[in-house]
Amino acid sequence: MKVLVINCGSSSLKFQLIDSDSEKAVAKGLCERIGIDKSRIAYTPAGGEKEIKEIEMPTHSEAIKAVIEALTNNETGVISELSEVGAVGHRVVHGGEYFNKSVVIDEDVIAKIEECNDLAPLHNPANIIGIRACMEAMPGTVNVAVFDTAFHQTMPRESYLYAIPKRYYDEYKIRRYGFHGTSHSFVSKRTSEILGKDYEDVKTIVCHLGNGASICAVENGKSVDTSMGLTPLEGVVMGTRSGDVDPEIVKTIAKKDGVTVDEALNVLNKQSGVFGVSQVSSDFRDIDAAIAQGNDDAVAAMEVFVHSVVKYVGAYAAAMNGVDCIAFTAGVGENNPGVRARVCEKLGYLGITINQEANKVMGEEREISTPDSKVKVWVVPTNEELAIARETLELL
Ligand code: ADP
C-alpha cells in the first residue's frame, strides 16, 4: 500500500508518497506560494528528475489537485490511479491536551484541532485546510492526524507546568507542550534498537538540531521533558529563534524600538538565534564559512548555540538521574561534525569521549563515541515522513 504524507504550512504544502513495504518514498515534492502569485509545484519521482511547474494555486485545494495530477501523470507519475493511495497521513502541529497519539480524522477531531488554533495560529489553520482539501479530493480515503505535540503528553506535571498563577493553566491551558514529537519518538525508538536495549529500559537525550531545534529527555519510552514550550520559541538557541530569554526583553525591545509586543516577538522568532548573533546567516554552513574567515560574531553565535545545547543536555541528564545515550539528529545534528564535537567536548564530565574519525559522518546512522565512552553518542537521521506513514498504517 502507499501512504500520502502531507505537511501543510500557511502558503506551502510538502508531500511524500511512501510505499509501506519498502518504507521508501516513491515520490516527493513541494507546492509553494499557495494563495500568492507565481505558485508552483516541485515534484521528484524516486530515481527521476525534479520538475518544477507553475500552476495557479489560489488555495490548498488546487495544491492537492496538483499533487494528485503529478502522482498520476502518464509520463512522470508513480501510480496509475488514485485508489492506490491507501491513506493520507497529515502532520498537525498542535494537538493541545486532546491528543496523546495519532488519530483517524473525523469532524470531531477537526473541531478539536480547531480549538487548538490559538496555541498555533500559523500552523493549525493551515493543517486543517490541508485535511479538508484531501477529504474533498479523495472522498472515502482514510485521513490520519499525527501531532507534533502528542509524544510529549507523557511529560510529568513538574516538567509541563510553568510557575505562573494556576488559573492560566486552568483557564487557558498555558503550559509546556513541546514540539518535534514525531522526530523525538522516531529517533529515540531507533536509538534503543541500535543499542539492543528495550525501549522501556533506556535513558536517551535526543538533540534535534535543525533550523528549529529542540532537545528531549526520553526515559522508559516516554518523553519526560523537552526544551520547546507553549510555542516553539522556547528552549535552545535556533537558526532565527532566540530560545530562552528573560521575558522582560520583550517589553524592553517594544519600548526602545517603539514597536508592539507582536513585533518584538517577531524579532525573537525571526531575527534572533544564530542569525541574530552572527548577523551572517541562520544556516550553519555559512556560520562555519564565516568562522573560517575569522568573523568574531560568527564565532560568538557558535559559542552561544553550543553553550545552550550543552546546558540542556546537562539538565536532562540530571533530571533523569543519568543518561545512556545521546542522539544527534536533523540538519545540523546529522551533518555538522563541528557542532557535535564542540558539544561533546563539553560533556566530558559525563564520561563521554568521541571518535573524531567516526564523527566526520554526515547524514548517516553511526556511533561517534569511543568503545569506552560511558555514554553512547550516535548520529541517528530522523525521518518524520516515514514516522507519519507508519503511524497512519498502524491506525488502518
Ligand atoms: P528545518 O528545521 O527547517 O527542518 P533542517 O533540519 O533542514 O531545518 O536544518 C537546517 C540546518 O541544517 C542548516 O543550518 C544547515 O546548515 C544544516 N544542514 C542541512 N543539510 C546539510 C548538509 N548536507 N550539510 C551541512 N549542513 C546541513
Q: Tens digit of pLDDT for each residue in 198-244?
A: 999 999 999 999 999 999 999 999 999 999 999 999 999 999 999 99
Nearest CA to ligand 1 atom 7: 331
Task: With a cut of 90, say whether residue 120 has pLDDT above it.
Answer: no
**Could you tell me the distance, in angstroms and rounded to a whole number, from the CA of residue 20 to the centre of ligand 1?**
27
Residues in Cβ contact with 146 at an 8 Å cutoff, skipping those fewer than 6 apart? 89, 90, 91, 92, 102, 182, 387, 388, 391, 392
Q: How far apart are CA 220 and CA 119, in angstroms?
A: 29
Instruction: Tell me how far the alpha carbon of residue 224 is from its chain's centroid.
Output: 18
Residue of 148, 225, 297, 372 with catalytic role:
148
Q: How far apart are CA 321 and CA 146, in angstroms?
A: 31
Q: Provide mean pLDDT across the span 59-85.
A: 93
Grid cell in block for residue 96? 493541545
Q: What is the pTM of this model?
A: 0.94
Residue 10: per-residue pLDDT: 79
Please indicate whether residue 148 is annotated as part of the active site.
yes
Cβ atoms 388, 5 nearer than 8 A: yes
Cα–Cα nearest to 236, from 330, 134, 363, 365: 330
**Could you tell me the distance, in angstroms and rounded to a whole number, from the CA of residue 79 to the centre of ligand 1?**
31
Residue 195: per-residue pLDDT: 95
Answer yes or no: is the C-beta of 207 below 6 A from any ligand 1 atom.
no
Cβ atoms 287, 338 nearer than 8 A: no
Q: Provide mean pLDDT across the span 284-308.
A: 98
Residue 313: pLDDT band by 50, 70, 90 thresholds?
A: very high
What domains sit in the chain, N to C, each tagged with a CATH number? Answer: 2-147 (3.30.420.40), 196-384 (3.30.420.40)
Answer yes or no: is the C-beta of 183 below 6 A from any ligand 1 atom.
no
Residue type, 377: V
Grid cell in block for residue 47? 530515481
Closest atom of ligand 1 relative to the 208 alpha carbon? 6
Q: What is the pLDDT of residues 332-361, one digit of tens each?
A: 999 999 999 999 999 999 999 999 999 999
> What is the DSSP secondary structure assignment for residue 107, as one 8-state letter?
H
